[in-house]
Amino acid sequence: MKTRCSNFTTVKRVFAIVLLAAMASGEARAAEWNVPRVGHLLSFPRDHGSHPDFKIEWWYLTGHLFAGERRFGFQATFFRLGQAPVDVPAGEDFGTEQLYLAHMGLSDPALGVFLHEERLNRGGWDAGAKVGDLDVFNGNWSLKRDEAGMSLEGTILAEAAMSLRLVPKKGHVIFGEDGISRKGPEGTAASYYITYTRLAAVGSILIAGEEVAVTGEAWMDHEISSSQLDRNQIGWDWACLQFFDGREIMGYVLRTGDGKASDFSKLVWIAEDGALTHVRHGDYEWRHGGSWTSLVTGATYPISPLIRTTDPASGKERQLRLVPLMEDQEMVGAAGGVSYWEGACDVRDEVTGEVVGRAYLEMTGYADDIGEKLR
């Protein structure tokens, strides 16, 4: 029997309404926000930290964890949503310069359970993001970098907890052919897009009253922008694939209001040595497959897409099917918030039938128009 757990208090609902109003008013101040610029050189560890002169920023982690034969999928995302551009947040106890949204999710196919929680807090005691290095928190959730890697701590309601140590197995990459990931023809519809495509994970998960030691691999994105989508885009299908041969793919299709794919959709192969092969829209195919309808939001998601692309190592076509571990992996937002599907998958070679890797699939804009909330 599958169960779902979520808890959205009245306070969070009020915060969500305030958030959307602030984001809508932020467009009128767009000229004040910084935007990604060609030729700008990112510097680390400084640029792993917060950029409060940009409007929208997030640190996103997904991964696949194992305890013997038992398998878990996890997601942790920390969002910073600027209300006014500043160099460094004032850090007052109940600040209004920054709002911090966070999502935590855990898939446990063995129990048939998908657990998730959403948080929204103002800057100060309850949430924050350090300028100059990676150190973000929202309540008792935290993601912090040190010289050897990073640590993730989180709970999901009173149902689960995770404590993970994450160490890069490959160096970070910066997506975008000139250092900028463009999402549309407007110059502001772009981001700095920094990714660790493969992190070794070790730690523990507490679920159903049992603490289990886990190991596995994770993926981390850090995006910095002031407008993520073009005006006619309503959402995206995005995936990160980690192949057993040490390579990865990051790919997405940006969906427009007329049901078509934007020309700014992109797929990137990441080689074992971190070299990038960019594939433009039209040179790969993302074909919808599968269908699952949420009983909560009523949205129908194509949860098993087929990706057709040329393998840069062999020059041959690959047909890669994403097969979800569970159908119900929908993150349901609070009133006025964002609902989307975010799930752990296997990667199956459609020609040979062999499982060749693992993936995380994200689909937005099916339950609501996320484009209105990220412009």
DSSP state of 261: B
Q: Are 268 and 278 in contact (CB under 8 A)?
A: yes
Rounded to an integer, the average pLDDT of 296-313 is 96
Confidence at 269, pLDDT banded by 50, 70, 90: very high
Q: Which amino acid, 25?
A: S
Q: Is 87 exposed, middle or buried (0-12, 13-18, 19+ CB in 10 A)?
A: exposed
Strands 113-124 and 3-5 turn out to be parallel
DSSP state of 26: H
Confidence at 3, pLDDT banded by 50, 70, 90: very low
Q: Is 95 exposed, middle or buried (0-12, 13-18, 19+ CB in 10 A)?
A: buried
In this prediction, residue 15 carries a pLDDT of 39
Q: Which residue has the higher pLDDT, 275 or 91?
A: 275
Distance of alpha carbon 274 from alpha carbon 251, whole angstroms: 16
In this prediction, residue 370 carries a pLDDT of 63
Q: Are 65 and 165 in contact (CB under 8 A)?
A: no
In this prediction, residue 24 carries a pLDDT of 40
Domains of the chain, residue spans = 3-373
Confidence at 233, pLDDT banded by 50, 70, 90: confident
Q: Are 126 and 138 in contact (CB under 8 A)?
A: yes
Assess whether pLDDT exceeds 70 at residue 17.
no
Q: Architecture of 3-373 per CATH? A: Beta Barrel (2.40)
Q: Are 281 and 263 in contact (CB under 8 A)?
A: yes
User: Which of 191-205, 208-222, 247-261, 295-309 has the least mean pLDDT?
Assistant: 247-261
The H-or-E segment that residue 346 falls in is strand 340-349
- Percentage of residues in the chain having pLDDT higher than 70: 86
